[in-house]
Chains A and B, each alone.
Chain A
């Protein structure tokens, strides 16, 4: 009998955070092995646990899964969070890829120089308010339903609320022109599994800080310069 999924990553958000969100939303308890040292990472490599030598890695249902999207798709499909047919899946995929692109802008932010951080922040707000949020605002306005796709809670809703909260951390009034998204945020935040995940003490990770950046660089021995998009 398979135990709880086990997540291998640094003690921070990075590429693992959407996976934590989705497992939490699905009501799945999980364990974490947090990578603090180079030695831990090298052991995973030596044991052949990382298919492409990278984390995230999630032990789940007898598999050592890598690649964020592969892991997310598996969890979504397994827990009925991926729409009821091909067309709903197509919509969910489109919406999730959009929020992935948006969160991708924020993902690299902590690794940038102070000048590049300023530039990137402007890009994040600009893209959020002109390219991404208007799309989801319109989707909700047009169908008037509670959830993005198929009148049913799905992966797309989890991913969207995660991205909204992330952008709000950078600019607290970013939803001021998006009343549908404000209502959506309140609604989804109140879903019991989500509410629990948003409470202190959950496995949700905080905004990345310098300590996180230092840990990632140390463990991966990746000291190259990251440039803004």
Chain B
């Protein structure tokens, strides 16, 4: 049986049973009034039918008038209609009561409707055989069914629209992920385990990858600003913008720490090489200053003192935080280890309470990092600060590049000469003044 494509693919017209019943009733009438087919489609109600599903009348016209089985009519309809109309046709023959035709395949609604139609059909037969109008009750029900069908169509439309927008969003997210992957931020196993990270962590990771893109932009602004020999006040604006850019990542980390402090503290948001140097969810300020000291000259004596003092203060603060965290770990160990577990749940509840303090430590560490950067910008002149921040950005860029190279290194135990040459070439590409590693 060929299924008419028009009916099934009709845009916006849900295959509701409102139309179905109507069609069946009309078809029933149509069959009984063999010779009088024209009036049905001439005026009034049939015209209303035409409005709703334009192709139906065509099908009706194609229905072979002569055959009571209306096999042709059945084939023109959808497979569902097939089932129903063939069964309904059977029921229009006096010998076949509708109940026996309502077999299991039909669902409840179809049964109800079919039996409705049966009653209607029987009423028709009982009434005047030449009656062409439908009585009020049928009219009302048909109207109700039309309404239901309309609602059903609207619902379907809304659902499809929702699906469409979800699809678009999904492809956007996939694009973002692809981009992040190509930049080496989500590495191998991490990307595969995306489903295993918390939503807070995922949100932060995406925000962080955007921040890194912004970072590249800010760095090139710093570079051009320095090379263009801008006035101090102009350069100050660029430097302050860069500091605000850092303030932003610290704000993001506050939120992330609240959502998932573990994610920050394990460094799963950074690359392996950065993770190697991780301290309490980020860089160690005193180490950063140590890296910068040699590159920042010429410095005045006062500046030198300021920088060394900053390094010293930072070390003291880091030490204090580290000891605090150690005490937290010790306390946690005491809570969950050793001794008989008298009340396991109570123990766990206490442990969870202690773990919550982790957020505080990550926050204080980030606070320390932020304060250190601000203090640096206070000690240095504008030009020095610009160079300093550029150096910081480049340093971490190189660490990330190193991570990328590391993960993509050939895994054979014996590296051929070709391979080692290639790696060396890659490393040569990573130059201080060039931005090649932005590709990583």
Q: Do A and B bind each other?
A: no
**Contacts from A to B (Cβ < 8 Å):** none
